[in-house]
Amino acid sequence: MALLILLIGLAFRAALMLPFRHEPPSDPDNYLVLARSLADGQGFRVADRPTAYRPPLYPLALAPGVTLLGLPATAWVVTLHLASGAVAIGLTGLAARRWGLPDRATALAMIVVACDPVLVSQARGVMTEPMASALVAAVLASVGPVPTIGEALRTGLLAGLAALCRPSLLPAALLIVTAVVFLSPGRWLRRAVRGVVMLAALTLTMAPWAIRNAVVLGSPVWTTTHGGYTLFLANNSAYYDDVLKGPMPVWTGPNQARWFAEVNQRAEGMPEPQADRWFRLQAVRVMIDRPTEAARATLERVGRFWAVAPSSAVYSRGLRWLTAAWTIPLWGVLVLGLVRRSTWQWPRIAAPMALLSLALVHSLYWTDLRMRAPVVPAIALVAAGALASERSRHPCHTRPAAT
């Protein structure tokens, strides 16, 4: 059954990438440009300037393909996305088994990751979501019922890699560290040691990127210099006026173009870290000056993150109905999973921590339903928990090593 689900998931992803035979995949965020710079030995550079605007892990994974095949390295992108899909499906199943979920629940979790349209559709472009979802599944599979020091080390390392692929996953890693300290089995000292080891592994994994940015950009940026921009993109007066007070379901048009031109002009010439801080400050000022609209915008972003279908302004009616037909039943099972007491106990609490922390991040930053793609493995595991008996759980674990 597991092999069949895996093959189905890969078939869906491969089918979406068939157009790559005739035209290269889209690269809206310049990850291939960064990979080309890395392949040429220039480091992370765009327009001949050092940058930390995008996270480093995905372009690092693309760089070998660009070195071997040149741009656009289509075969490498396809291989990377198929491998990411296989890892996400397989490790979600492993997490379900390690957490003691029954066979039917394990199968459901794998089916969700194999077939979820929001996640599967991300294979079409050069985007971080496929790799990020695989890393989230790896983190969840690494969380054991009775975590050893080795597991804590491994989980912290994987969480660091996930944050270097998708910075919005960093809060999830910190929440899982907190859960290790307060909810994992054992005496207080042992739990504290696990948490310290996990946090240290997370920090050491991300430290080379921060050190590089301190040396090259003059500021120890741990994630990216893109966060301030996405916060301002979701919280500016033009957006509030057009979308919250106007008829636009998706922000576009002359006011958006004018806003882009104005902010790019203001930030021109600023070092990236300075521009990031300036964008963040502007967003905070708008939210303080217009608290009612800021609250409405937050609720609107929450709705977009959890939307059952993509926007009618962008996608066809048939695609929207197909997505809704999948998502509505899934959300029903997800709610059933969330209200189970066992979902909030160790180790299964790691899944809602990952899911809800990302939802919280995107309640403030620019979002749409695509942003939930990296945590589809967490959604799958919480939903699968609804099929597990509260009284017959037997998590798979080994005796923890001495601390």
pTM score, whole prediction: 0.94
Q: Is the pLDDT of residue 313 over 80?
A: no
Share of the chain above pLDDT 70, in %: 95
User: Which of 189-198, 253-262, 357-366 comes out lowest in average pLDDT?
Assistant: 253-262
Q: Is the pLDDT of residue 7 over 90?
A: yes
Mean local confidence (pLDDT), 189-215: 97
Taking the CA atoms of residue 141, residue 142, residue 147 and residue 150 in that order, the dihedral angle to the nearest 10 degrees is 160
pLDDT, one tens digit per residue, over 98-142 is 999 999 999 999 999 999 999 999 999 999 999 999 999 999 999
Q: Is the pLDDT of residue 396 over 70?
A: no
Structure tokens belonging to residue 72? 């656009």
Residue type, 297: A
Q: Rounded distance, CA 196 to CA 291, Å? A: 38
Domain boundaries of the chain, sorted by first residue:
2-222+314-385
Closest CA to 144 of 200, 85, 198, 84: 198
Residues present in the chain in total: 403
Q: Rounded distance, CA 281 to CA 256, Å? A: 19
Secondary structure E strands in 282-367 = none
376-to-55, 80, 330 alpha-carbon distances in Å: 20, 18, 11
